[in-house]
Amino acid sequence: MNQDTQLNFSCQNLYVGIDVHKLSWSVTIILNGMKVKKLSMNPEPKELYNYLTKHYPQGEYYSVYEAGFSGFWADRELRSLGINNIVVNPADVPTKSRERRRKTDRIDSEKLARELSVSHLDGIYIPEEKAEALRVLVRLRRQLVTDQTREKNRIKSLLLFLGQRVPEDVKEKHWSKRYIMALRNLPIDQEESKIALVELLDSLESTRNQIASVVKQLRNYVAKDKEISKVINLLLTIPGIGFVLAIILYSEIIDIKRFGRLDELAAYVGFSPAVYSSGEKERTLGLSKQKNKYIRNFLIEASWIAIRRDTSLQMAYGKLCGRMPGNKAVIRISKKLLNRIRYVWNTEQPYNFSVVK
Protein backbone atom coordinates (compact mmCIF):
# COMPACT_ATOMS: atom_id res chain seq x y z
CA MET A 1 0.00 0.00 0.00
CA ASN A 2 1.26 3.46 -0.88
CA GLN A 3 2.55 5.33 2.18
CA ASP A 4 0.21 8.26 1.45
CA THR A 5 -2.83 5.96 1.58
CA GLN A 6 -1.90 3.91 4.64
CA LEU A 7 -4.64 3.64 7.21
CA ASN A 8 -4.19 5.91 10.21
CA PHE A 9 -6.96 6.47 12.76
CA SER A 10 -4.93 8.53 15.19
CA CYS A 11 -7.02 10.95 17.29
CA GLN A 12 -10.16 8.91 16.49
CA ASN A 13 -12.08 6.92 19.13
CA LEU A 14 -13.41 3.47 18.41
CA TYR A 15 -16.06 2.08 20.74
CA VAL A 16 -16.37 -1.70 21.02
CA GLY A 17 -19.31 -3.49 22.63
CA ILE A 18 -18.60 -7.11 23.56
CA ASP A 19 -21.34 -9.62 24.33
CA VAL A 20 -19.39 -12.33 26.14
CA HIS A 21 -20.12 -16.05 25.85
CA LYS A 22 -18.13 -19.14 26.67
CA LEU A 23 -17.37 -20.10 23.05
CA SER A 24 -17.52 -16.76 21.26
CA TRP A 25 -17.72 -12.97 21.52
CA SER A 26 -20.26 -10.95 19.57
CA VAL A 27 -18.61 -7.59 18.81
CA THR A 28 -19.96 -4.27 17.53
CA ILE A 29 -17.63 -1.38 16.61
CA ILE A 30 -18.77 2.24 16.45
CA LEU A 31 -16.65 4.97 14.84
CA ASN A 32 -17.70 8.61 14.43
CA GLY A 33 -21.19 7.79 15.65
CA MET A 34 -21.70 5.04 13.05
CA LYS A 35 -21.78 1.27 13.30
CA VAL A 36 -18.88 0.24 11.13
CA LYS A 37 -18.60 -3.45 11.94
CA LYS A 38 -20.37 -6.37 13.55
CA LEU A 39 -18.57 -9.66 13.92
CA SER A 40 -18.21 -12.82 15.94
CA MET A 41 -14.82 -14.00 17.13
CA ASN A 42 -13.12 -16.38 19.52
CA PRO A 43 -13.26 -15.24 23.17
CA GLU A 44 -9.67 -13.98 23.10
CA PRO A 45 -8.61 -10.39 23.91
CA LYS A 46 -5.54 -10.77 21.69
CA GLU A 47 -7.71 -11.64 18.68
CA LEU A 48 -9.81 -8.51 19.20
CA TYR A 49 -6.68 -6.40 19.59
CA ASN A 50 -5.18 -7.80 16.37
CA TYR A 51 -8.40 -7.06 14.48
CA LEU A 52 -8.56 -3.47 15.71
CA THR A 53 -4.89 -2.69 15.03
CA LYS A 54 -5.11 -4.24 11.55
CA HIS A 55 -8.28 -2.50 10.36
CA TYR A 56 -8.17 0.69 12.49
CA PRO A 57 -4.46 1.26 13.26
CA GLN A 58 -3.34 4.03 15.63
CA GLY A 59 -6.91 4.53 16.86
CA GLU A 60 -7.92 5.04 20.48
CA TYR A 61 -9.77 1.88 21.50
CA TYR A 62 -12.53 1.74 24.12
CA SER A 63 -14.41 -1.45 24.97
CA VAL A 64 -17.03 -2.72 27.39
CA TYR A 65 -18.63 -5.97 28.47
CA GLU A 66 -21.14 -6.94 31.16
CA ALA A 67 -20.12 -8.49 34.47
CA GLY A 68 -21.10 -12.12 34.81
CA PHE A 69 -19.81 -15.66 34.59
CA SER A 70 -16.60 -14.67 32.76
CA GLY A 71 -15.10 -12.69 35.64
CA PHE A 72 -12.44 -10.04 35.10
CA TRP A 73 -9.59 -11.88 33.36
CA ALA A 74 -10.62 -10.45 29.96
CA ASP A 75 -10.68 -6.93 31.39
CA ARG A 76 -7.12 -7.30 32.66
CA GLU A 77 -5.87 -8.66 29.34
CA LEU A 78 -7.66 -6.02 27.28
CA ARG A 79 -6.18 -3.21 29.37
CA SER A 80 -2.72 -4.77 29.23
CA LEU A 81 -2.99 -4.65 25.40
CA GLY A 82 -3.79 -0.93 25.49
CA ILE A 83 -7.57 -1.14 25.09
CA ASN A 84 -9.48 1.10 27.51
CA ASN A 85 -11.94 -1.46 28.80
CA ILE A 86 -14.62 -1.23 31.46
CA VAL A 87 -16.93 -3.86 32.95
CA VAL A 88 -20.51 -2.79 33.70
CA ASN A 89 -23.39 -4.05 35.80
CA PRO A 90 -25.98 -5.42 33.33
CA ALA A 91 -28.78 -3.74 35.31
CA ASP A 92 -27.16 -0.32 34.75
CA VAL A 93 -27.12 -0.51 30.93
CA PRO A 94 -29.85 1.71 29.38
CA THR A 95 -32.11 -0.47 27.23
CA LYS A 96 -34.68 0.51 24.61
CA SER A 97 -38.10 -1.16 24.63
CA ARG A 98 -37.45 -3.03 21.37
CA GLU A 99 -34.21 -4.37 22.85
CA ARG A 100 -36.19 -5.82 25.74
CA ARG A 101 -38.54 -7.56 23.32
CA ARG A 102 -35.78 -8.90 21.09
CA LYS A 103 -32.67 -10.10 22.90
CA THR A 104 -29.85 -11.40 20.72
CA ASP A 105 -26.07 -11.35 20.99
CA ARG A 106 -25.78 -8.82 18.14
CA ILE A 107 -28.36 -6.51 19.71
CA ASP A 108 -26.64 -6.73 23.12
CA SER A 109 -23.20 -5.90 21.72
CA GLU A 110 -24.65 -3.01 19.68
CA LYS A 111 -26.39 -1.65 22.76
CA LEU A 112 -23.16 -1.74 24.76
CA ALA A 113 -21.14 -0.03 22.00
CA ARG A 114 -23.82 2.65 21.55
CA GLU A 115 -24.07 3.50 25.24
CA LEU A 116 -20.29 3.49 25.62
CA SER A 117 -19.90 5.91 22.70
CA VAL A 118 -22.18 8.48 24.38
CA SER A 119 -20.61 8.08 27.85
CA HIS A 120 -23.70 6.55 29.45
CA LEU A 121 -21.83 3.68 31.12
CA ASP A 122 -19.90 3.60 34.40
CA GLY A 123 -17.52 0.75 35.04
CA ILE A 124 -17.73 -1.30 38.21
CA TYR A 125 -14.87 -1.76 40.65
CA ILE A 126 -12.34 -4.38 39.49
CA PRO A 127 -10.40 -6.05 42.33
CA GLU A 128 -6.76 -7.04 42.04
CA GLU A 129 -6.15 -10.70 41.24
CA LYS A 130 -5.10 -11.54 44.80
CA ALA A 131 -8.27 -9.99 46.24
CA GLU A 132 -10.40 -11.71 43.60
CA ALA A 133 -8.84 -15.07 44.50
CA LEU A 134 -9.85 -14.56 48.14
CA ARG A 135 -13.38 -13.65 47.00
CA VAL A 136 -13.55 -16.91 45.00
CA LEU A 137 -12.68 -18.96 48.10
CA VAL A 138 -15.18 -17.08 50.29
CA ARG A 139 -17.95 -17.57 47.72
CA LEU A 140 -17.09 -21.27 47.53
CA ARG A 141 -18.03 -21.54 51.20
CA ARG A 142 -21.43 -20.01 50.44
CA GLN A 143 -21.99 -22.45 47.57
CA LEU A 144 -21.12 -25.37 49.85
CA VAL A 145 -23.53 -24.11 52.54
CA THR A 146 -26.25 -23.98 49.87
CA ASP A 147 -25.38 -27.58 48.89
CA GLN A 148 -25.57 -28.58 52.56
CA THR A 149 -29.07 -27.13 52.88
CA ARG A 150 -30.22 -29.02 49.79
CA GLU A 151 -28.80 -32.26 51.13
CA LYS A 152 -30.58 -31.81 54.45
CA ASN A 153 -33.85 -31.18 52.60
CA ARG A 154 -33.36 -34.35 50.55
CA ILE A 155 -32.85 -36.35 53.74
CA LYS A 156 -35.97 -34.83 55.33
CA SER A 157 -38.00 -35.61 52.20
CA LEU A 158 -36.82 -39.23 52.18
CA LEU A 159 -37.68 -39.69 55.87
CA LEU A 160 -41.16 -38.25 55.29
CA PHE A 161 -41.61 -40.51 52.28
CA LEU A 162 -40.61 -43.55 54.36
CA GLY A 163 -42.74 -42.49 57.33
CA GLN A 164 -39.68 -42.35 59.59
CA ARG A 165 -39.27 -40.10 62.62
CA VAL A 166 -36.15 -39.22 64.51
CA PRO A 167 -36.22 -40.17 68.23
CA GLU A 168 -37.44 -37.24 70.33
CA ASP A 169 -34.34 -37.15 72.53
CA VAL A 170 -32.04 -36.34 69.59
CA LYS A 171 -34.15 -33.71 67.83
CA GLU A 172 -31.92 -30.66 67.55
CA LYS A 173 -31.94 -27.42 65.60
CA HIS A 174 -28.45 -28.09 64.30
CA TRP A 175 -27.47 -31.44 62.84
CA SER A 176 -24.89 -32.68 65.35
CA LYS A 177 -22.91 -35.91 65.02
CA ARG A 178 -25.31 -37.48 67.52
CA TYR A 179 -28.28 -36.44 65.41
CA ILE A 180 -26.75 -37.87 62.22
CA MET A 181 -25.86 -41.11 64.01
CA ALA A 182 -29.48 -41.43 65.09
CA LEU A 183 -30.52 -41.09 61.46
CA ARG A 184 -28.06 -43.80 60.44
CA ASN A 185 -29.51 -46.15 63.07
CA LEU A 186 -33.14 -45.72 62.08
CA PRO A 187 -34.89 -49.10 61.67
CA ILE A 188 -35.54 -49.21 57.92
CA ASP A 189 -36.64 -52.63 56.67
CA GLN A 190 -35.97 -52.27 52.95
CA GLU A 191 -32.26 -52.47 52.15
CA GLU A 192 -32.49 -50.17 49.12
CA SER A 193 -34.15 -47.42 51.15
CA LYS A 194 -31.49 -47.80 53.86
CA ILE A 195 -28.76 -47.47 51.23
CA ALA A 196 -30.38 -44.29 49.86
CA LEU A 197 -30.43 -42.73 53.34
CA VAL A 198 -26.82 -43.71 54.06
CA GLU A 199 -25.65 -42.26 50.73
CA LEU A 200 -27.40 -38.98 51.45
CA LEU A 201 -25.90 -38.82 54.95
CA ASP A 202 -22.43 -39.58 53.56
CA SER A 203 -22.83 -36.75 51.05
CA LEU A 204 -23.94 -34.38 53.80
CA GLU A 205 -20.97 -35.19 56.02
CA SER A 206 -18.60 -34.79 53.06
CA THR A 207 -19.99 -31.31 52.36
CA ARG A 208 -19.73 -30.37 56.04
CA ASN A 209 -16.07 -31.41 56.01
CA GLN A 210 -15.49 -29.28 52.92
CA ILE A 211 -17.05 -26.25 54.61
CA ALA A 212 -14.86 -26.75 57.68
CA SER A 213 -11.79 -27.08 55.46
CA VAL A 214 -12.56 -23.88 53.55
CA VAL A 215 -13.10 -21.89 56.77
CA LYS A 216 -9.79 -23.26 58.11
CA GLN A 217 -8.02 -22.14 54.92
CA LEU A 218 -9.59 -18.68 55.23
CA ARG A 219 -8.42 -18.35 58.83
CA ASN A 220 -4.89 -19.36 57.79
CA TYR A 221 -5.00 -16.86 54.92
CA VAL A 222 -6.05 -14.02 57.23
CA ALA A 223 -3.42 -14.94 59.84
CA LYS A 224 -0.65 -14.66 57.23
CA ASP A 225 -1.72 -11.29 55.81
CA LYS A 226 -1.19 -8.40 58.25
CA GLU A 227 -3.33 -5.91 56.31
CA ILE A 228 -6.35 -8.19 56.04
CA SER A 229 -5.90 -9.43 59.59
CA LYS A 230 -6.05 -5.85 60.87
CA VAL A 231 -9.34 -5.18 59.07
CA ILE A 232 -10.89 -8.49 60.16
CA ASN A 233 -9.95 -7.95 63.82
CA LEU A 234 -11.49 -4.47 63.72
CA LEU A 235 -14.73 -5.82 62.25
CA LEU A 236 -14.87 -8.52 64.93
CA THR A 237 -15.23 -5.81 67.59
CA ILE A 238 -18.66 -4.89 66.16
CA PRO A 239 -21.65 -6.64 67.80
CA GLY A 240 -23.16 -9.29 65.52
CA ILE A 241 -20.06 -9.65 63.33
CA GLY A 242 -18.31 -13.04 63.45
CA PHE A 243 -15.38 -14.31 61.42
CA VAL A 244 -17.48 -15.59 58.49
CA LEU A 245 -19.35 -12.30 58.00
CA ALA A 246 -16.13 -10.31 58.52
CA ILE A 247 -14.31 -12.18 55.75
CA ILE A 248 -17.38 -11.91 53.48
CA LEU A 249 -17.46 -8.13 54.04
CA TYR A 250 -13.75 -7.80 53.33
CA SER A 251 -13.73 -10.00 50.21
CA GLU A 252 -16.75 -8.26 48.67
CA ILE A 253 -15.88 -4.63 49.57
CA ILE A 254 -12.04 -4.89 49.61
CA ASP A 255 -11.51 -1.11 49.64
CA ILE A 256 -13.96 0.73 51.88
CA LYS A 257 -12.60 4.11 50.74
CA ARG A 258 -14.15 3.67 47.30
CA PHE A 259 -17.48 4.52 48.96
CA GLY A 260 -17.32 8.22 49.79
CA ARG A 261 -20.71 8.25 51.53
CA LEU A 262 -22.82 5.79 53.50
CA ASP A 263 -25.57 6.00 50.86
CA GLU A 264 -23.14 4.73 48.21
CA LEU A 265 -22.19 1.75 50.36
CA ALA A 266 -25.85 1.11 51.25
CA ALA A 267 -26.77 1.11 47.55
CA TYR A 268 -23.98 -1.38 46.82
CA VAL A 269 -25.14 -3.72 49.58
CA GLY A 270 -28.82 -3.31 48.66
CA PHE A 271 -30.30 -1.17 51.43
CA SER A 272 -31.47 1.65 49.15
CA PRO A 273 -35.25 1.80 48.69
CA ALA A 274 -36.86 1.46 45.28
CA VAL A 275 -38.97 4.57 44.57
CA TYR A 276 -41.82 5.13 42.10
CA SER A 277 -42.37 8.80 41.31
CA SER A 278 -44.84 10.24 38.83
CA GLY A 279 -45.97 13.86 38.91
CA GLU A 280 -46.81 14.75 42.50
CA LYS A 281 -47.12 11.11 43.57
CA GLU A 282 -44.22 9.22 45.06
CA ARG A 283 -44.22 5.73 46.58
CA THR A 284 -41.49 3.75 48.29
CA LEU A 285 -41.59 0.19 46.97
CA GLY A 286 -39.32 -1.41 49.57
CA LEU A 287 -35.75 -2.52 49.09
CA SER A 288 -34.24 -2.29 45.63
CA LYS A 289 -33.76 -5.55 43.75
CA GLN A 290 -30.18 -4.48 43.04
CA LYS A 291 -28.02 -5.84 45.84
CA ASN A 292 -24.86 -7.67 46.74
CA LYS A 293 -26.43 -11.05 47.48
CA TYR A 294 -23.32 -12.15 49.36
CA ILE A 295 -23.65 -9.36 51.97
CA ARG A 296 -27.24 -8.18 52.43
CA ASN A 297 -28.86 -11.31 53.85
CA PHE A 298 -25.91 -12.03 56.16
CA LEU A 299 -26.01 -8.46 57.44
CA ILE A 300 -29.74 -8.70 58.23
CA GLU A 301 -29.11 -11.92 60.18
CA ALA A 302 -26.24 -10.24 62.05
CA SER A 303 -28.52 -7.32 62.95
CA TRP A 304 -30.76 -9.59 65.05
CA ILE A 305 -27.70 -10.56 67.09
CA ALA A 306 -26.45 -6.96 67.30
CA ILE A 307 -29.83 -5.79 68.65
CA ARG A 308 -29.43 -8.12 71.64
CA ARG A 309 -25.84 -7.03 72.34
CA ASP A 310 -25.85 -3.27 71.65
CA THR A 311 -28.08 -1.18 73.93
CA SER A 312 -28.23 1.74 71.49
CA LEU A 313 -29.47 -0.58 68.73
CA GLN A 314 -31.97 -2.10 71.19
CA MET A 315 -33.37 1.36 71.83
CA ALA A 316 -33.49 2.25 68.13
CA TYR A 317 -35.19 -1.05 67.28
CA GLY A 318 -37.81 -0.50 70.00
CA LYS A 319 -38.68 2.95 68.64
CA LEU A 320 -38.91 1.65 65.09
CA CYS A 321 -41.20 -1.20 66.15
CA GLY A 322 -43.60 1.42 67.50
CA ARG A 323 -44.40 2.48 63.93
CA MET A 324 -43.59 -0.53 61.72
CA PRO A 325 -43.37 -4.35 61.82
CA GLY A 326 -40.23 -5.91 63.27
CA ASN A 327 -39.08 -7.36 59.94
CA LYS A 328 -39.06 -3.85 58.45
CA ALA A 329 -37.48 -2.31 61.53
CA VAL A 330 -34.54 -4.71 61.35
CA ILE A 331 -33.75 -3.44 57.83
CA ARG A 332 -33.27 0.05 59.30
CA ILE A 333 -31.07 -1.48 62.01
CA SER A 334 -29.06 -3.26 59.32
CA LYS A 335 -28.26 0.07 57.70
CA LYS A 336 -27.15 1.41 61.09
CA LEU A 337 -24.95 -1.66 61.51
CA LEU A 338 -23.51 -1.01 58.05
CA ASN A 339 -22.67 2.53 59.17
CA ARG A 340 -20.81 1.10 62.17
CA ILE A 341 -18.86 -1.21 59.84
CA ARG A 342 -17.91 1.70 57.60
CA TYR A 343 -16.91 3.88 60.57
CA VAL A 344 -14.69 1.25 62.20
CA TRP A 345 -13.08 0.28 58.90
CA ASN A 346 -12.43 3.89 57.85
CA THR A 347 -11.10 5.12 61.17
CA GLU A 348 -9.18 1.91 61.95
CA GLN A 349 -10.47 2.14 65.52
CA PRO A 350 -12.20 -0.69 67.46
CA TYR A 351 -15.95 -0.39 67.83
CA ASN A 352 -17.31 1.96 70.51
CA PHE A 353 -21.09 2.35 70.42
CA SER A 354 -20.90 5.62 72.33
CA VAL A 355 -19.03 7.17 69.39
CA VAL A 356 -20.73 5.61 66.34
CA LYS A 357 -24.24 6.90 65.59
Taking only the tens place, the pLDDT of each residue in 203-227 is: 999 999 999 999 999 999 999 999 9
Residues 337-351, mean pLDDT to the nearest whole number: 94
Positive or negative, the Cα torsion across 235, 241, 247, 250? negative
- Model confidence pLDDT, tens digit, residues 68-127: 888 899 999 999 999 999 999 998 898 877 767 777 778 889 999 999 999 999 999 999
Asked if residue 239 lies in contact with residue 356, where contact means CB atoms within 8 angstroms, the answer is no
Pairing of strands 34-41, 60-66: unpaired
Please determine, for residue 283, whether its predicted confidence score (pLDDT) is greater than 70.
no
- Model confidence pLDDT, tens digit, residues 287-336: 666 778 889 999 999 999 999 999 999 999 999 999 999 989 999 999 99
pLDDT of amino acid 304: 94
Please determine, for residue 276, whether its predicted confidence score (pLDDT) is greater than 50.
no
* Closest C-alpha to 90, from 62, 61, 69: 69
Positive or negative, the Cα torsion across 304, 310, 312, 318? positive
Banded pLDDT at 168 (limits 50, 70, 90): low
CA dist., res. 271 & res. 300, Å (int): 10
Residue 228 or residue 176, greater confidence? 228
CA dist., res. 202 & res. 210, Å (int): 12
**pLDDT-wise least confident of 4-13, 109-118, 146-155:** 4-13
Q: Return contacts of 241-250, CB within 8 angstroms, 24+ apart.
A: 241/302, 241/306, 241/341, 242/302, 243/215, 243/218, 243/219, 244/141, 244/215, 244/298, 245/298, 245/299, 245/302, 247/138, 247/218, 247/222, 248/138, 248/142, 248/294, 248/295, 248/298, 249/295, 249/341, 250/134
pTM for the structure as a whole? 0.85
Residue 264 or residue 274, greater confidence? 264
Q: Please report, rounded to a whole number, the percentage of residues in the chain having pLDDT higher than 70.
A: 89
Residue 169 or residue 45, greater confidence? 45
Q: What is the DSSP letter of 273?
A: E
Q: What is the mean pLDDT of the chain?
A: 89
pLDDT of amino acid 103: 72
